[in-house]
Chain A
């Protein structure tokens, strides 16, 4: 029974990776592809890690899997945000296709310019 649940969770997580890869290949536009690519990094990892934890049945293994999951939950949104922001500033996205352009509103004038100075 436990193996059944573990196997189902792992196959579900791997299937999510396939869906994301197909999305990254087929979607048009950078933000659509970015959106598709980040799904398995959280939900897929939770499913696969839960499956692995059920199979391994060891406290230290479960702790390490939980560490990876917690780390991914913290870093994936940050990394995705940075890539999206960088692509926007580098004009890798079609600004005309955006329904809402809050970054452009904040930075004013809508013109594309690299961020000035600092870091």
Chain B
């Protein structure tokens, strides 16, 4: 069980690093937001895996919060892009 959880955490860390390259490259603000949104999704997945790995359920509340904040952030920046341009 913990092997699978550790492998999952490793894969999630790898994918977050790959997505970070796209955040740095851009080229537009919209591309960066898409990649940032993916990193937030990966963070939510990572919290679920860590909760399973450690067997503690406190992290699940954090998961709910991160999901909500991620959505609010994405929509806010989408409105910003629409007004200001990419």
Residue ranges of A at the interface with B (Cβ–Cβ < 8 Å): 3, 6-8, 10-11, 13-15, 17-18, 20-22, 24-25, 30, 33-34, 37, 40-41, 44-45, 48-49, 51-52, 55-56, 58, 60-61, 64-65, 67-68, 71-72, 75-76, 78-79, 82-83, 85-87, 89-92, 114-115, 119
* Prevailing SS type, chain A contact patch: helix
Q: A11-B8, A86-B30 are in contact. List 9 more A-B contacts (CB 8 A).
A: A14-B12, A17-B42, A18-B18, A21-B38, A25-B19, A40-B42, A55-B55, A76-B71, A79-B78
| Contact residues on B (Cβ < 8 Å of other chain), bracket | 35 or more
Q: Which of A60, A79, A115 contacts B37 (CB 8 A)?
A: A79
